[in-house]
Chains A and B, each alone.
Chain A
């Protein structure tokens, strides 16, 4: 039987950089031109299967971008195995904000957390304000994964999550029961492995 992992992933980043859209693309392969702002946080899951048949189920917490919701963020990144910090390549200030999040994660989150820096909206490359070189250099200095995506076209989206999935079990072997909310409550005769929903999604992306 192939190995199965379950990881908690948190999305952080400035308002309107496309966090929810990125997840929506990843989880449902959809895109809405108009995506409502997220209030509080949304939860979704998606499973990826790697070449060796290892499956990685992401439990994704998509957070609200506005500064005033910042105080809630620790709740979501506290036990996260990985974080995708998103910026908008057409907004240089959003990279600054991403850096702030990364610093916070480096200080406060699990030391083993895998952090991916993600430049979204490559479909708007004509208005690019953040060069690939700049972002990539920063990511290298900080030891982060880095990639660019377009939630709109889908470009790079599954790649970045798959890359995280590949990196995760190596750096933080997590049995699939890790990071569960309610310990001991998974009994009841249903094997979580067989959840018909793994690989599915949900979307309460407000």
Chain B
């Protein structure tokens, strides 16, 4: 912490690329994060000493304080449980509450959202006390702001971008996901809380924050996509079951993520995180049916598939049979990856069964009905054929064992016989995967339609590596009052699905698009052309409003107009493309 002032002269000289590289490696920024995070958040070290929450905190309470209290009273559930020296939960809750309240009392225009406390918890547990407030303030104003308006709309915009990214990265898989949910709502908490709500241990979430804070705010979308891609096999199995809810359940929880170099060897057939229980049971069942077919393709393609998850140059490969190949030809390679990853997974999972992530144990409930002995065998070691047999048998048994609720839970072991491991991925492989996605499909990629989804005042556009390019703090705070400039109206579900199709079947698609569309978006196939025209109109209005707002402040406005120009350019090009496209139809 005392390093902060000492390094202050380097503030302007953050080597972003170098830090990005480090952040994606095992361990991330390590202890350095204490001094690096404030800098990455553009905290001015000179201000730290005299920006004490007490000094700036107006006495009046903020409208969201009741909710803040409700949430902090049930905070610190996952970590730092068991962390020596940090065991007084109530004290921690009190301090966290104070920190949160001081932020909202100073930045009164911001709105609290459930999950924000999870994010701030990570800062709270990581940073020295004297930089917590200023770091949280900067974080909120320049990175989290989109979610701190009065509505959920901006994060839904991010979900739309995520959806498009998935369609680019793996069209077939994305189609399955799309068929299940109109938007990837299961990723809501990932995006809203920057994974802080879902990641089970402090070390992992700190590393994820290392990754995110060294990158622009949209990096969370790429990471969410990388995570979704790692669940492909599980999803495809569930899909065959038609379990809409289970899919949500599966995807709203994370795969089992582990940090490399923790010396944590995978332990076969450990009990699963209870969050997954049913989903995995389902998986297991379907697995038995598909395993053999999958196996065949897996043999042929396993090496290819390995690269999607196994890019772990830093550590001894967990599955030595797979080699990493640099993804080169953008679409084709990824396509290939995604096609094979499914198959690959099944093989890998038979080799490497899951064990809980560090700290996961908290979620594993020993009182849960176990009874998975039969399946343990089949899951871990039995060849696919055997599995199938066991499973069928078990499922019948299960049926017999079903009872009236009160008894059926703890006492009928057969009802929970099925237990399957989650996908188990190293954090670095996910981070590298996210980076690959970012290079292949950067935010400027037209099919992501970022500039048609988010407005000019979204953090996605206002954030900058260069602090002098950021809106000033007060201006940033005021931006939450104009949600219409943060996220654009939801015209996207139609235009977007057009885009998606483009990635999907590039060649022969144009003619068939009309026929295909309704399949995916049953009720939502509205007048696309009208809506696009509407979007352009809205943009016009937004620009006008924005121009007026920005005008008085000279330097600011010039800078923003530049940015806006880029943005508008992109939008207009994109939109007119859409219109032409529509006319052609």
Closest to B409 in A: A29
| Least distance between A59 CB and chain B CB atoms (Å) | 5
> Is the CB–CB distance between A39 and B114 below 8 Å?
yes
A48 to B113, CA, bound (A): 35
Whether the pair A15, B70 counts as a contact (CB closer than 8 A) is: yes
A contact residues vs B (CB 8 Å cutoff): 15-16, 26-30, 32, 34-50, 55, 59, 61, 64-66, 68-69, 71-72, 75, 158, 161-162, 180-190, 192-206
**Contact assessment for B278 and A183 in the assembled complex, using a CB-CB cutoff below 8 Å:** no
Q: List 15 A-B contacts (CB under 8 A).
A: A27-B409, A28-B409, A30-B367, A37-B74, A40-B185, A40-B252, A48-B404, A71-B151, A193-B399, A194-B398, A198-B398, A199-B415, A203-B249, A203-B277, A204-B248
B276 at the interface (CB under 8 A from A): yes
- Cα-based distance from A201 to B277 in the complex (angstroms): 7
Is the CB–CB distance between B408 and A39 below 8 Å?
no
Task: Give the interface SS of chain B, mostly helix, strand, loop or mixed.
Answer: helix
Partner of A181, one of B180, B399, B408: B180
User: B367 touching A195 by the CB < 8 A rule?
Assistant: no
B241 at the interface (CB under 8 A from A): yes
Q: Is the CB of A44 within 8 A of B249?
A: yes
Q: Could you tell me the distance between the alpha carbons of A39 and B70 in the complex, rounded to whole angstroms?
A: 14
Task: Report whether B289 and A189 are in contact in the complex, using a CB–CB cutoff of 8 Å.
Answer: yes
In the complex, A189 Cα to B394 Cα: how many Å? 16
Q: Which 6 A-B pairs have the closest CB atoms?
A: A181-B244, A202-B278, A185-B242, A39-B189, A43-B245, A40-B188
Contacts of B240 in A (CB 8 A): 185, 187-188, 190
Do A194 and B396 touch across chains, with their CB atoms under 8 A apart?
A: yes
Instruction: Please give 11 more A-B residue pairs, beta carbons under 8 A apart, in addition to A34-B76, A190-B285.
Output: A34-B77, A40-B185, A41-B185, A48-B404, A68-B150, A188-B240, A192-B241, A197-B282, A198-B398, A200-B415, A203-B278
What's the nearest-Cβ distance from chain B to residue A80, in Å? 12
B192 interfacial by beta-carbon distance below 8 Å = yes
Q: B279, A202: Cβ atoms under 8 Å?
A: yes
- The number of A-B residue pairs with CB atoms under 8 Å apart is 208
Return A38 CB to nearest CB of chain B, in Å: 8
Complex alpha-carbon distance, A183 and B150, angstroms = 36
Question: Do residues B415 and A61 form an inter-chain contact, with CB atoms below 8 A?
Answer: no
CB distance from A36 to the nearest CB of B (A): 5
Cβ contact within 8 Å between B245 and A158: no
Contact in complex: A188, B241 (CB < 8 Å): yes
B115 touches A37 (CB 8 A): yes
Query: Which chain A positions have C-beta within 8 A of B286?
Result: 188, 190
Question: Does A204 lie within 8 Å of B252, measured CB to CB?
Answer: yes
Tell yes or no: B67 within 8 A of A by CB.
Answer: yes
Residue of B nearest to A57 (CB): B402
Minimum C-beta distance from B269 to chain A (A): 17
Name the residue on A nearest B71 (C-beta): A37
A181 to B250, alpha carbons, bound, how many Å? 15
Q: Are B189 and A196 in contact (CB under 8 A)?
A: no
The answer to whether B365 touches A28, judged by C-beta atoms less than 8 angstroms apart, is yes
Quote the shortest CB–CB distance from B243 to chain A (angstroms).
7
CA distance A206 to B78 in the complex (A): 11
Q: Which residues in B have their C-beta under 8 angstroms from that of A48?
A: 404-405
Contact status B242-A183, CB under 8 Å: yes
- Say yes or no: A202-B275 contact (C-beta < 8 A), given A68-B113, A196-B281, A196-B391: yes
Q: Which residues of chain B have C-beta atoms less than 8 A from A189's C-beta?
A: 289
Evaluate contact between A66 and B114: CB separation under 8 angstroms: yes
Docked complex: B140-171 residues within 8 A CB-CB of A: 150-152
B74 in contact with A36 (CB, 8 Å)? yes
Q: With both chains docked as a complex, state the minimum distance between the C-beta of A13 and any C-beta of chain B, in angstroms.
A: 13
Q: Using known A-B contacts A15-B67, A190-B286, A206-B189, determine if residue A47 contacts B408 with beta carbons closer than 8 Å.
A: yes
Known contacts A36-B74, A182-B179, A196-B415; is-contact A204 B275 (Cβ 8 Å): yes
Q: Is the CB of B391 within 8 A of A202?
A: no
Q: Say whether, besides A15-B67, A206-B198, A206-B252, A181 and B242 are in contact (CB < 8 Å).
A: yes
